[in-house]
């Protein structure tokens, strides 16, 4: 019995040893030779490492503001590296002097054109005042003619008859209604000069045909003035006075005729008794005929006036009043049209003057910019604060005698008390970066000094210059502000930045190269006693070296850092996935066939 147990244990040991030997060399690969690392438990810092250049966050940059197409030359420039002091700022020390000769010639040439434009502008302004005065005088004269025409009509037919007639014709009848009429007409005229409405009417209105114009009839011709006398509605006016005078004259003529008739009868009786001569009787008969003619003339004049002269004069005066109304509006329209032209010429002259004035001011500003004086203490650096290969290669080097292009940076004076690092964040890390995150900065010139800082700015869009020569490269410029002031830091120094994204406490983590992915599933190769084991894991955040493992392995377990050469994905898993996809497609086809025709058509 004991011998059987001892022999059994020995056989088992040998079998295990043989299994270990064969399993440690799967497919001829020695698992012990693969690199491994143990899963660790502890704190894990999630960071992003980038390199960049130290720059001043605030700086004073001077650029070339001269817009000459051929550029402008540097006559004098202060040495790069010169330290501008407070005394230099107070004294206005000259840092750069540019060649102003071309600008001075342009200013001289521009003076002639500017003076002509200024004179035209002054003339246009004076013309407005002159034309306004003349327009007001013309309108005043027309307004006076209108009032006189109304007074003449009122004087002829009487105030009450004139008012009744004008109201019936819907015409102004007194000073108050005249003012209202003129205001309404003026408002309509102003609307007709609206440029927006004119533009619309120019698109929609058909071309006017002068042969289609018809004159409107006069309102005065529609009034029956004869009814004034028949209905006795004529007022106490000039016409009424004329009628009264003619009636009086006819009455006097009738009285004189009666007297003459009695005188002739007496003369005839005396002649029959031969108290008077025939000549005396004939004289009396002639006087009688004259009296009859005088009465007939007076009556005829009265009838002519009533039937012809009165309607004619009344209609004429009312027509004159109508014409005066139209003439006032016509005059206002003509004067407004004339003033519109005057104002248009004035605005045009004013616009040209403003453009010339702006050009003159711009030339003077450019001339003043040819001398750059010290405005802020600090270190003088040539070029711009953000100069790099993509921009500086278009400009000549800054030196005395160099030609500058418009907008080219000349010198920069950085504020050394506020420094930062300009870095480019790769698109794979940009989602992790937030404003205010802590960062550690190490200048390459002083590697033993680690400085602290904060994320100050992150670009919303990728840098277009960085992808100009590599379209697949997407980086986002970011600025890290360095805390405190450090004298050993200088703008332009290279630096490394470690951005702290998150600090994980007491987590399990492994090297990032030990994590593999298949079909969106994360797994590791766990080293076992007999070889290795493929194990599925759940992962969390990671940095450039380590990745958090939330489940699947325990601290201390060893993971292989390289995929074994003999590893093949499980074929069963692949076959199952293929069968599942085929089954899903068949199910979908059956469902489609079972649907009603209406849904299929839809």
Question: pLDDT tens, 69-119?
Answer: 888 999 999 998 898 999 999 999 999 999 999 988 889 988 888 899 999
**441 contacts: CB under 8 Å, gap ≥ 6:** 421, 450, 451, 452, 453, 480, 482, 495, 496, 497, 498
Question: Which CATH number belongs to the domain containing residue 556 in this structure?
Answer: 2.40.30.170
Measured between alpha carbons, how far is 376 from 89 in angstroms, rounded to an integer? 6
Backbone angles phi, psi at 458, to 5 degrees: -135, 130
Report yes or no on 103 lying in a domain: no
DSSP states along 52-63: EEEEESSEEEEE
* pLDDT bucket at 511, cuts 50 / 70 / 90: very high
- Statement to judge: residues 553 and 485 lie in one domain: yes
pLDDT at 204 over 90: no
pLDDT tens-digit series, residues 328-375: 888 888 888 888 888 899 999 999 999 999 999 999 999 999 999 998
Residue 16 has pLDDT above 50, yes or no: no
Looking at the structure, tell me whether residues 177 and 266 fall in a common domain.
Answer: yes
Token couple for 146: 């209108």
Q: What was the pLDDT predicted at 599?
A: 31
Closest CA to 259 of 284, 280, 226, 232: 284
| 535 phi, psi to nearest 5 deg | -130, 130
**Residue 74, pLDDT score:** 92
156 C-beta neighbours (distance < 10 Å), count: 23
How many CA atoms lie less than 13 Å away from 381 in the CB half-sphere? 20
Residues 515 and 587 reside in one and the same domain: no
- Quickly count: other Cβ atoms within 10 Å of residue 515's Cβ: 17
Diameter of the chain by CA atoms? 219
d(CA 312, CA 322): 15
377 lies in the same domain as 272: no
Rg (CA), the chain: 57
pLDDT, residue 587, reads: 53
Mean pLDDT of 245-253: 88
- Is residue 392 included in any domain, yes or no? yes
Using alpha carbons, select from 430, 437, 487 the residue that is nearest to residue 459: 430
What's the average model confidence in pLDDT over 116-135?
89
Task: Specify whether 354 is located in the same domain as 477.
Answer: no
**pLDDT tens readout for residues 373-424:** 998 888 888 887 665 444 444 566 888 888 999 888 999 888 888 889 999 9
- Residue 127 near residue 345 (C-beta atoms within 8 A): yes
Cβ pair 541, 501 in contact under 8 A: yes
Question: pLDDT value at position 572?
Answer: 46
- Domain-located, residue 596: yes
| Tokens coding 466 | 């960085």
The DSSP element (H or E) to which 229 belongs, if any, is helix 226-230
Average pLDDT over residues 125-135: 88
Residue 109 in domain? no
**207 located within any domain:** no
Structure tokens that stand for 323 in this block: 């014409």
Which value, to the nearest 10 degrees, does the dihedral of the CA atoms of residues 432, 434, 439, 442 take? 80
Higher pLDDT, 440 or 16: 440
Report which listed range, 469-478, 483-492, 539-548, is most confident.
539-548
The model's pTM = 0.52
Average pLDDT, the chain: 81
Task: Give the phi and the psi of residue 263 in degrees, each rounded to 5.
Answer: -65, -40
Assigned domain for 204 exists:
no
CA distances from residue 590 to 177, 579, 593, 594 in whole angstroms, order as listed: 90, 17, 5, 6
Number of domains forming the structure of the chain? 5
* Domain assignment present for 147: yes
With 50 as the cut, is the pLDDT of residue 426 above it?
yes
Task: Say whether both 399 and 457 belong to one domain.
Answer: no
* CA 293 – CA 291 distance, rounded (Å): 5
Question: Which residue, among 511, 510, 482, has the nearest Cα to 496 in the 3D structure?
Answer: 482
Span 148-164, average pLDDT: 87
Confidence of residue 195 (pLDDT cuts 50, 70, 90): low
Q: Are residues 136 and 86 in the same domain?
A: no
Which range marks the domain in which residue 151 is found?
A: 116-198+223-362
68 and 125: one domain?
no
Q: Which residues contact 329 (CB under 8 A, 6 or more apart)?
A: 182, 185, 189
What does the block give as tokens for 490? 């200088």
- Are residue 194 and residue 317 in the same domain, yes or no? yes
In a domain? residue 586: yes
User: In degrees to the nearest 10, what's the CA dihedral of 262, 268, 271, 276?
Assistant: 30
Alpha helices in 24-158 (DSSP H): 86-91, 101-157
Co-location of 401 and 310 in the same domain: no
Describe the chain by its helix, strand, coil percentages, rounded to 5.
50, 20, 25
202, two tokens: 């120019």
Q: What is the CATH number of the domain that holds 82?
A: 2.40.50.100
Based on the fold, state whether residues 305 and 442 are members of the same structural domain. Answer: no
Q: What is the pLDDT confidence band of residue 241, given thresholds at 50, 70 and 90? A: confident
DSSP, collapsed to helix, strand or coil, labels residue 93 as coil
Supply 552's token pair. 């699947």
Q: Tens digits of per-residue pLDDT, 312-323?
A: 888 888 889 888
Joined together, the tokens standing for residue 280 give 């005396």
Rounded Cα distance between 143 and 327, Å, is 9
pLDDT at 181 over 90: no
Q: Indicate whether 297 and 152 sit together in one domain.
A: yes
């Amino acid at each position: 019995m004991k011998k059987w147990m001892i022999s059994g244990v020995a056989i088992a040991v040998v079998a295990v040893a043989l299994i270990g030997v064969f399993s440690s060399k799967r497919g001829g690969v020695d698992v012990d030779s693969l690199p491994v690392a143990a899963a660790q438990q502890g704190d894990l810092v999630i960071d992003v490492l980038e390199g960049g250049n130290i720059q001043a966050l605030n700086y004073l940059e001077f650029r070339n503001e001269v817009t000459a197409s051929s550029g402008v030359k540097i006559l004098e420039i202060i040495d790069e590296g010169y330290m501008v002091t407070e005394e230099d700022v107070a004294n206005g020390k000259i840092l750069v002097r540019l060649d102003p000769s071309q600008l001075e010639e342009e200013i001289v040439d521009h003076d002639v054109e500017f003076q002509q434009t200024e004179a035209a502008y002054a003339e246009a302004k004076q013309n407005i005042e002159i034309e306004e005065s003349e327009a007001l005088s013309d309108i005043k004269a027309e307004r006076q003619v209108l009032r006189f025409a109304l007074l003449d009509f009122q004087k002829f037919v009487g105030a009450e008859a004139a008012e009744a007639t004008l109201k019936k014709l819907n015409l102004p009848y007194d000073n108050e209604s005249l003012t209202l009429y003129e205001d309404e007409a003026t408002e309509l005229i102003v609307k007709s000069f609206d440029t927006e409405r004119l533009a619309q009417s120019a698109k929609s209105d058909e071309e006017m045909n002068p042969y289609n114009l018809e004159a409107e009839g006069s309102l005065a011709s529609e009034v029956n003035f004869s009814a004034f006398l028949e209905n006795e509605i004529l007022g106490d006016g000039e016409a009424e006075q004329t009628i009264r005078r003619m009636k009086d004259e006819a009455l006097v003529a009738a009285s004189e005729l009666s007297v003459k008739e009695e005188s002739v009868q007496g003369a005839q009786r005396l002649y029959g008794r031969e108290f008077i001569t025939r000549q005396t009787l004939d004289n009396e008969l002639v006087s009688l005929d004259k009296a009859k003619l005088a009465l007939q003339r007076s009556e005829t004049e009265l009838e002519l006036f009533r039937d012809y002269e009165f309607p004619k004069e009344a209609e004429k005066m009312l027509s004159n009043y109508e014409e005066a109304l139209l003439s006032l509006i016509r005059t206002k329209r003509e004067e407004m049209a004339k003033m519109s032209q005057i104002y248009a010429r004035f605005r045009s002259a004013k616009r040209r003057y403003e453009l010339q004035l702006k050009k003159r001011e711009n030339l003077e500003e450019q001339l003043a910019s040819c001398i750059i004086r010290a405005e802020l203490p600090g270190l003088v650096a040539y070029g711009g604060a953000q100069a790099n290969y993509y921009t500086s290669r278009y400009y000549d080097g800054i030196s005395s005698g160099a030609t500058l292009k418009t907008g080219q940076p000349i010198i920069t004076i950085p504020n050394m008390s506020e420094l930062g690092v300009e870095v480019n964040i790769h698109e794979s890390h940009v989602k992790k970066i937030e404003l205010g995150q802590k960062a550690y900065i190490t200048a390459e010139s002083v590697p033993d000094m680690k400085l602290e800082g904060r994320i100050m700015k992150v670009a919303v869009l990728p840098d277009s210059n960085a992808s100009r020569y590599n379209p697949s490269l997407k980086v986002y410029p970011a600025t890290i502000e360095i805390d405190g002031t450090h004298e050993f830091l200088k703008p332009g120094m290279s630096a490394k930045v470690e951005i702290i994204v998150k600090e994980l406490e007491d987590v399990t983590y492994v090297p990032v190269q030990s994590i593999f992915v298949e079909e969106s599933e994360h797994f590791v190769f766990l080293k076992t006693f007999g070889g290795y084991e493929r194990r599925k894991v759940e992962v969390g955040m990671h940095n450039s070296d380590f990745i958090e493992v939330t489940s699947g392995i325990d601290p201390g377990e060893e993971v292989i850092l390289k995929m074994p050469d003999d590893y093949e994905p499980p074929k069963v898993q692949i076959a199952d996935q293929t069968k599942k996809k085929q089954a899903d497609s068949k199910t979908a086809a059956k469902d489609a066939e079972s649907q009603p025709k209406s849904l299929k058509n839809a």
